[in-house]
Amino acid sequence: MAVTVPASWVARLRRLVAEPTTDTYTDIDLAEYIDRYPLADANGYVPTDTGWAGNWDLNLAAADVWEEKAAMVAANFDFAADGGDYKRSQAHAQALQQARNFRARRQTGTLTMVATPKPAGAARLDDYLGNQAEDDD
């Protein structure tokens, strides 16, 4: 059974991306962003396990929303008129900065390294590395 994103998670993402109303992003839209980044739950169950309680990386979801918000204002340009100086490009730069901030806060993963014995007949480490330059001999 699939776990649906709780309304409290959607409300939190709404606050993280400064979207207090549903005018631009509906709750369904934000739930879809959240659902892209499932994590293992507190008990260690992964999303493919039947006992998974539901856990997502809100920071990655927020980064995606901020990047989309930046794209929506990317065509804005700075101009001066009637004695005023309008820096509309700041909205784009600020949205991208928010995206970088949230992407930096994402949940880190783990990687398990497995040691394997070197191939039989290899006298040195570089005798069997695949990224070594070929000899011209």
Most confident of 1-15, 59-73, 118-132: 59-73
pLDDT in tens, 53-99: 999 999 999 999 999 999 998 888 778 888 887 788 889 999 999 99
Q: If you average pLDDT over every residue of the chain, what do you get?
A: 85
Q: What is the pLDDT of residue 1?
A: 42
Residue 111, pLDDT score: 64
- pLDDT at position 135, please? 60
Domain boundaries, the chain: 7-109
Does 117 score more than 80 pLDDT?
Answer: no
HSE toward the beta carbon, residue 2, CA cutoff 13 A = 4
C-beta contacts of 25-28 below 8 A and 24+ residues apart? 25/65
